[in-house]
Amino acid sequence: MVVYFAVHPPHYSSPIAQNIAVTLKTLLVGLSFLATFSTGFVALGLTLVFLRSLFTARDQNPA
C-alpha cells in the first residue's frame, strides 16, 4: 500500500481536493501500519504465552 501511494501521488488542480487526497492517504497508511503492528504484537504475545505454557510445571491441580 505504501509503495502504491509512493508511486502514484495524487495530482489535483484544486488545493482542497489535494488536501483531502493527502489526508485520506495519510489516514489509510497510518491505519494499515497500526493494524499490521497491532496484529503482530498480539501474535507475538500469544506465541510467548504458548511457549511459556509448554515449559511450565505440569503439577498444578486443574480444578
d(CA 57, CA 34): 36
Is residue 37 one of the residues assigned to a domain? yes
Is residue 13 one of the residues assigned to a domain? no
Is residue 62 one of the residues assigned to a domain? no
Is residue 34 one of the residues assigned to a domain? yes
Summarised one tens digit per residue, pLDDT across range 9-21 is: 888 899 999 999 9
> How many domains, in total, are found in the chain?
1
Summarised one tens digit per residue, pLDDT across range 29-56 is: 999 999 999 999 999 999 999 999 998 8
Domain that holds residue 34: 1-8+20-50
Q: Calculate the dihedral angle through the C-alpha atoms of 52, 58, 61, 63, rounding to the nearest 10 degrees.
A: 60
Q: The pTM is what?
A: 0.66
Among 40, 29, 33, CA closest to 5: 29
Is residue 55 one of the residues assigned to a domain? no
